[in-house]
Structure 1
Amino acid sequence: MARARSTSSAAPRPVNASTDLVPVTVGRGGLVGQLVGHLAGKALPYAAPWVGAYSLPPAVGFATNQMWGAYPLSAGLASAGLGVGGVILSAVTWHVSGGTNRFRRARRAQATASVAAGMGWLTCATAAGPFGSPMLDLWLMGSGLFAASWNIRQIMRNAHDETEQVEDKGGFAKIAEAIGLEKLRVKKAQGNGKGMVEVPVEIPPSQTIADVQAALPKLATAAQIPPSGATVKGDLDNAANATLYLRVADLLKDGVQFVPPVRMGLLPNEPIPLGLYADGEYFVINPFDADILQHLLVMGVTGAGKSEFARGLIAHLSTRRKLTMFVADCSKGRQSMGHIADGIDWFLTQPREVKHLFKALPGAIKARGDVLADEGLDQWTPESSLNAMVLWLEEAADLTDFDELDQIARAARSVGIWLVVSLQRAVWTNINVNVRTNLQAAACFGVDDAGDAGFCLPDRVVEAGAVPDWGSDRPGYAFATGMGIDQDRWTMEWRSGLTDRKYLAALVEAGAAHRDPLDGVTAAALGAAYEQRTHRGTNRINPARSALAPAFPLPPVEDEDDTVSMEIDDVRTEVLGMIPGDPEPDADYAGIDLDGPLPEVPADAGMTFEQRERPGAEAARRVIHEQIASWLTAGQLEFQPADLAPAAVSAGRKRAWLQAELKRLVEEGVIRRDGHGEYSILRAPLVAA
């Protein structure tokens, strides 16, 4: 076919089928044909249910009726078999057509109902015949309803994507989109009716739990809840699953009632209720019943509620048997806990007492370990003859050095000594990293800087959004880990119970009839430091109050003995400070030695000495013992070998003998050799061990 010539001089432009409109002339018959074909193509998918519904049932029903419907026995057996088969097919249909959105759930129900209805009609038609009444009527009406329902599904499927996940998100969808989490697959959120909403989510492959954690501040803002009100907990078995927790109402803001013990005389390993969680459940700890006794770090700024928590916990423990408490607070003294001091066996408010305690504790830990070994116990349990112990340290950095605290923290756990360290900020300048590592449980109250929470709480808890960065604005609110608390609760806010001074004092007084004294092994190992303690708590054996004592303690008054001891210490320090530590190099007495001979006295000195007989071994030993006993009576529990030089000279003995005697006293447990050549007095040497 020849190509038409162009009237233009330019080269002809090729026709682009995708952009150029090419006019086509079609006859009337051709246009009608195309229209009919188009409508037939659109209607054909919708015709399939109608064709199948009106052709298959009568054909299959006629066939089965001809095969088994002639005789009652065969018809009955066939109907029974088809009935069982219908149930099985319906169950298979339900199982294989599952889905997580509303479109797929509706399809499952429709498909299962269609199979059940079809098999039911076939079962009846096998025995009764397909063309009699009422089987024919059911077929005509049911087939139309069946086909129409599937046509409606086809229309809706064309309008919606059955894979989209918008229906289950509800109101959370807008929030998720606003914070960049629109790809999260959110399951049905559930509220507990107490201000908490739990939202299970599935994280898509393009995101991780860290992305959800990073979006928590935005989530809290979009949901209009406090910053700490949005937390997320990952699934340890499946990284694609997580649960969002939203605190949409604060049920704790009006305060939490103190929860008293369920009864007096409980063992140390019974649960201790101390407040309420944000979802209304009780906040309960049980440190002595956990698989491992975890030392506790309590942290929070001034006014955050640490003291309230401490008083509630100590009051609870004061009503229990087989438990002894030591509390060291040299900053506030009796101001915070004076009204419950009777429940504390040793309340240390002077630095010198704390020093004595920490020097005596290693020996007590060793003695307790030996007893537990003899009892066949790897760690303390109520079956042991020993008491459980609580050592509570307020502002521990001001009480002892880090090396001593680290040694005690590592060794105390297995022998049933629970160490609690309370301070405002657990930064490295306030507490050693090694010590903090041994404090595996935590109660973190309000902090001023969100970063401070990481010094107390585990990283995974902080990353989940559990950051109490409200300072002192919400006293008593906290997050807690360890101490037998379920890990699902580590990211849940709680508030400690409000305490009343008179109520707690009465509670502690009532517990005196149930409190046991410190076991003999530990008391003996602590030695003179424990025996000469200035504060002695009450219990069923050594009540400190008489029947005429007031029901509640009077305002705290500084102990007179403490005042006198402090004055003696001050005078001793002042006097000793005036004496040089070493003799002057050119002094006349610089060369005098305990092992050397006494200096000769000039003839014109006017002094005469009476020659005394050298004491025997027992008498010489008694001189040393009496000197040590006199120090113990005066409250001086440390000395250096040079302090015994006058006694050794009086006993007519030299340095070698004195060193041997000190070694013997160490072996007998009378004294203990500390670092830097010092000795601590554990008990009086004149008293048999």
Structure 2
Amino acid sequence: ARRGELVIVPEDMLSDVIEWQGPSLPGGSIADPLVIGRYDDGSPLMLWLPGDPDTGRNATHLLISGMTGSGKGDGALNVLTEIMSRKDVVVFLSDPKAFQDFRPLLPGITWAVEGGAPTEAMVQAIQAAIPARTRWLGAHSYRQWVPQAAEQQNDPVHSCQPDRACGCEGMPFLVGWMEEAANTLRYMGEDAFNGIAQEARAAGVSFVISLQRASYDQVSTTTRASIPSVLCFGVNGAGEAGFAMPDEVLAAGADPGVWKNRKPGYCYLCSTGIPDDRLPTPARTWRFTIRSISLMEAVAQWAARHGARPGLITDQAVTATVGRAYTERDQHTTDQPTPEEDDVTGEPLVDEEDTQIDPERDLDGSEAGDDIPIFGDSTGRKPGPEEARQLFAHALAEFEAAGQMVVGPKDFLDWCERHQLSRPWVSERLKEAAIEGRLEPTAKAGRWRIVPQLVDA
């Protein structure tokens, strides 16, 4: 029992910074390992997301954790660029930091939103897609997602028809990525990810949560217990390491609290498919620099042109849940041309009769009659009950058209002031709309999901 094992590393392979040179297996499958760095003996640092029925490896979710300056951002880029370079996977990304690190990758990401209500809608959409994807896998005799599920179903063994190959469209793997997840959890509540974390792996969905501190006051213990894999960078002391890493790995000698943010990129990877004796072994991810941007853009362009599409099953489930927020998602991203400039010619978008107007000149002073309404009733008139209900229905339609599919009383503050209506009145109308089927309650009290009106998929 006292006999131990001594591992000697003659040269620390982690001391030198190695810049990212591009994806390890462009055009490969998401079932192949994602190479995101190297161990201290120089061997590759590999991560798997889907399961493998042949080896008994389970599918996994991933937590990326580390303090500011620890290299967590580069670690996330390593994982995401590896994912995007594979042929049979799509990515839904939420980033409350306005894509500060991920902007070069946006063209290749299937659905990207910032924080707040758009992320609420994305979480609701992923939750709704899970049972639809699980049903599809079961109908085609898959006990879990495998690369064959992403291809057209021409094998009678994997058919939804009893006596022949069905020829159904395949269903790619799905990665739901929540960057700066602490921001989203503060907005939505600590239980926001519980359902996805517990149910998604069976549906060919991996959930990636990135946050600085994986403590109980940031993410619920239910969600944390359902995320078996962690990529942990330097943290602020042993106490925080205990929130992120398994006790047995810490007992074996792993200690990211020693690094803090003094050794950016140093990390431990605890995940399925990795031998137990590798779990407490230090590793380091590749470094991303300004020179990496053009290659990141190339990865995004490849994913946009040659990568997988979500597929009919996922598209239908998500569209039925959040409607235009998904079908018109390109119009709701922040990566669009500004309204003042044409996206092709670069010329100002100004009407011909307005070309002589100086936008810097102060407006003229008020004149007699300026306070007379141009049309309709004057401002400040409180609408009658039926008119108020019509205005409320119109407001819901406007939220839907803008892609905001989750609402609550606080979203109507300006609207209430404009129409002289109270928040309690709005709260009652929200409940009525839920009874009528226009809204559905979300996991967070006081927040409602707009049920989409019919839209083209």
Amino acid at match of 2:400: L
- 2:147 maps to which of 363, 382, 388: 382
8 Å CA contact 1:286–1:484 kept in 2: the answer is: yes
- Spell out the pairing of 1:185-204 with structure 2 (5 A cutoff): 203-204=1-2
SS in 2 for 1:326: strand
| Distance verdict in 2 for CA 1:466–1:321, change over 3 Å | same
Residue 680 in structure 1 maps to residue 449 in structure 2: yes
Residue 393 in structure 1 maps to residue 178 in structure 2: yes
Residue 403 in structure 1 maps to residue 403 in structure 2: no
Deviation at 1:536, TM superposition (A): 9.6
| Distance verdict in 2 for CA 1:298–1:683, change over 3 Å | same
- Spell out the pairing of 1:242-391 with structure 2 (5 A cutoff): 242-258=4-20, 260-290=22-52, 291-330=57-96, 332-384=97-149, 385-391=170-176
Alpha-carbon distance in structure 1 between the residues aligned to 2:345 and 2:231:
40
Amino acid at match of 2:62: L
Alpha-carbon distance in structure 2 between the residues aligned to 1:366 and 1:265:
28
8 Å CA contact 2:259–2:266 kept in 1: the answer is: no
- 2:266 maps to which of 463, 469, 477: 477
Alpha-carbon distance in structure 2 between the residues aligned to 1:683 and 1:523:
14
Alpha-carbon distance in structure 2 between the residues aligned to 1:259 and 1:273:
11
| Distance verdict in 2 for CA 1:661–1:479, change over 3 Å | closer
| Distance verdict in 2 for CA 1:487–1:256, change over 3 Å | farther
Deviation at 1:264, TM superposition (A): 3.0
RMSD of the alignment, in Å?
3.6
Amino acid at match of 1:309: G
1:571-606 Cα distance to aligned partner (Å, 9 max, x none)? xxxxxxxx9xxx9xxxxx9xx988xxx9xxxxxxxx
Deviation at 1:659, TM superposition (A): 9.8
Alpha-carbon distance in structure 2 between the residues aligned to 1:532 and 1:488:
48
- 1:535 maps to which of 309, 312, 333: 333
Alpha-carbon distance in structure 1 between the residues aligned to 2:11 and 2:80:
31
SS in 2 for 1:360: helix
1:461-496 Cα distance to aligned partner (Å, 9 max, x none)? 111111122111111111111142222211111111
| Distance verdict in 2 for CA 1:455–1:504, change over 3 Å | same
Amino acid at match of 1:370: R
8 Å CA contact 2:25–2:86 kept in 1: the answer is: no
SS in 2 for 1:410: helix
Structure 2, unaligned stretches of length 5 or more? Answer: 150-169, 336-342, 347-379, 413-429
SS in 2 for 1:389: strand
| Distance verdict in 2 for CA 1:637–1:297, change over 3 Å | closer
Task: Give the number of aligned pairs.
Answer: 357
8 Å CA contact 1:628–1:684 kept in 2: the answer is: no
| Distance verdict in 2 for CA 1:289–1:411, change over 3 Å | closer
Larger Rg computed on CA atoms:
1
| Distance verdict in 2 for CA 1:503–1:410, change over 3 Å | same
8 Å CA contact 2:120–2:406 kept in 1: the answer is: no
- Spell out the pairing of 1:21-420 with structure 2 (5 A cutoff): 203-204=1-2, 241-258=3-20, 260-290=22-52, 291-330=57-96, 332-384=97-149, 385-400=170-185, 401-420=189-208
| Distance verdict in 2 for CA 1:638–1:336, change over 3 Å | closer
Alpha-carbon distance in structure 2 between the residues aligned to 1:327 and 1:683:
21
Deviation at 1:269, TM superposition (A): 0.5
Alpha-carbon distance in structure 2 between the residues aligned to 1:479 and 1:393:
20
1:492-549 Cα distance to aligned partner (Å, 9 max, x none)? 1111112222222223323433212212221221222322432399xxxxxxxx9999
1:542-562 Cα distance to aligned partner (Å, 9 max, x none)? xxxx9999xxxxxxxxxxxxx
User: What residue number does 2:279 align with?
Assistant: 490
- 2:313 maps to which of 513, 521, 542: 521
Alpha-carbon distance in structure 1 between the residues aligned to 2:232 and 2:334:
31
> TM-score with structure 2 length normalisation?
0.69
| Distance verdict in 2 for CA 1:425–1:247, change over 3 Å | farther
Deviation at 1:414, TM superposition (A): 1.0
Alpha-carbon distance in structure 1 between the residues aligned to 2:25 and 2:5:
37
Alpha-carbon distance in structure 2 between the residues aligned to 1:394 and 1:407:
18
Deviant stretches of 4+, over 4 Å? 546-549, 622-631, 638-641, 658-663, 675-679
User: What residue number does 2:339 align with?
Assistant: none
Amino acid at match of 1:632: E
SS in 2 for 1:309: helix
Residue 632 in structure 1 maps to residue 396 in structure 2: no
Structure 1, unaligned stretches of length 5 or more? Answer: 1-202, 205-240, 538-545, 550-578, 584-588, 599-621, 644-657
Amino acid at match of 2:65: M
Q: Which of 1 and 2 has higher RCO (CA within 8 Å, sep 6+)?
A: 2
> TM-score with structure 1 length normalisation?
0.47
| Distance verdict in 2 for CA 1:465–1:375, change over 3 Å | same
User: What residue number does 2:301 align with?
Assistant: 509
Alpha-carbon distance in structure 1 between the residues aligned to 2:284 and 2:4:
25
Amino acid at match of 1:472: N
Amino acid at match of 1:504: M
| Distance verdict in 2 for CA 1:517–1:242, change over 3 Å | same
1:37-81 Cα distance to aligned partner (Å, 9 max, x none)? xxxxxxxxxxxxxxxxxxxxxxxxxxxxxxxxxxxxxxxxxxxxx
| Distance verdict in 2 for CA 1:321–1:536, change over 3 Å | farther
8 Å CA contact 2:433–2:439 kept in 1: the answer is: no
Amino acid at match of 2:35: P
| Distance verdict in 2 for CA 1:474–1:636, change over 3 Å | closer
8 Å CA contact 2:117–2:404 kept in 1: the answer is: no
1:249-287 Cα distance to aligned partner (Å, 9 max, x none)? 312211134353354321210111111111111111122
SS in 2 for 1:372: helix
8 Å CA contact 1:319–1:514 kept in 2: the answer is: no
Deviation at 1:445, TM superposition (A): 0.7
